[in-house]
A and B are shown apart, each in its own frame.
Chain A
Amino acid sequence: DGGITQSPKYLFRKEGQNVTLSCEQNLNHDAMYWYRQDPGQGLRLIYYSQIVNDFQKGDIAEGYSVSREKKESFPLTVTSAQKNPTAFYLCASSLNAGVTKREQYFGPGTRLTVT
Chain B
Amino acid sequence: EDQVTQSPEALRLQEGESSSLNCSYTVSGLRGLFWYRQDPGKGPEFLFTLYSAGEEKEKERLKATLTKKESFLHITAPKPEDSATYLCARIDQTGANNLFFGTGTRLTVIP
Chain A interfacial positions (CB closer than 8 Å to B): 4, 6, 31, 33, 40-45, 48, 50, 56, 58, 88, 90, 92, 94, 96, 99-100, 102-109, 111
CB–CB B97/A31 < 8 A = yes
Least CB distance, B58 to chain A, in whole angstroms: 16
Whether B98 lies near A33 (C-beta < 8 A) is yes
| Contacts beyond the supplied A41-B103, A100-B49: 18 A-B pairs with Cβ under 8 Å | A4-B43, A6-B43, A43-B87, A43-B89, A43-B99, A48-B96, A58-B98, A90-B43, A90-B44, A92-B43, A96-B97, A99-B51, A102-B32, A102-B91, A104-B34, A106-B46, A109-B42, A109-B43
Out of B4, B43, B46, B96, which one reaches A50, CB within 8 Å? Answer: B96
B99 to chain A, nearest CB (A): 6
For B101, the chain A residues whose CB sits under 8 A away are 42-44
A42 engages B103 (CB within 8 Å): yes
Query: Can you report 15 residue pairs joining A to B where beta carbons are below 8 Å apart?
Result: A6-B43, A42-B87, A42-B89, A42-B103, A43-B89, A43-B99, A48-B96, A50-B96, A88-B41, A90-B44, A92-B43, A99-B51, A102-B97, A103-B34, A109-B41
A-side contacts of B99, CB under 8 Å: 43, 45, 104
Please name all residues of chain A whose beta carbon is closer than 8 Å to the beta carbon of B32 when the two chains form the complex: 102
Asked, given contacts A42-B87, A45-B98, A50-B96, whether A103 binds B43 with beta carbons under 8 Å apart, the answer is no
Quick one: closest B residue to A4, CB to CB?
Answer: B43
Chain A min CB distance to B77 (Å): 26
Q: Measuring CB to CB, which residues of chain B are less than 8 angstroms from any residue of chain A? A: 4, 31-32, 34, 36, 41-46, 49, 51, 87, 89, 91, 96-104
- Shortest distance in angstroms between A86's beta carbon and chain B's nearest beta carbon? 15
A48-B98, A58-B98 in contact; A102/B41 too (CB < 8 A)?
no
> In whole angstroms, what is the CA distance A92 to B102 when docked?
17
**A107 surroundings in chain B (CB, below 8 A):** 43
Which chain B residue shows the least CB distance to A33?
A: B98
